[in-house]
Structure 1
């Protein structure tokens, strides 16, 4: 089998990671939206998706 077949898929998309990294830098949704050239609603959606994935991961571990 090829090595690539064993690599796992990242939990978050690139954009979700970008939003989350800015969020932990204490940026507001408005600031994140402005920096990434997306709407505040899109920022909130990315945050919601990331939280959902983190909660599922925590539950799976426990």
Structure 2
């Protein structure tokens, strides 16, 4: 004989497990996006550093 309460508990456990799996996938995606953004920003800052280093100082007016 099946117990409806046990069936509901099993369904709830399945929903929780699915939510955990979805959260882990979302966390992994966010981690990859963060790494990509960090690398892109490092390249942008390096490019700005190069531009600043190669820009001559303005001559003093006096």
Structure with the bigger percentage of helix: 2
Larger Rg computed on CA atoms: 2
So what's the TM-score if we normalise by structure 2? 0.39
Higher RCO by CA contacts (8 Å cutoff, separation 6 or greater): 1
So what's the TM-score if we normalise by structure 1? 0.39
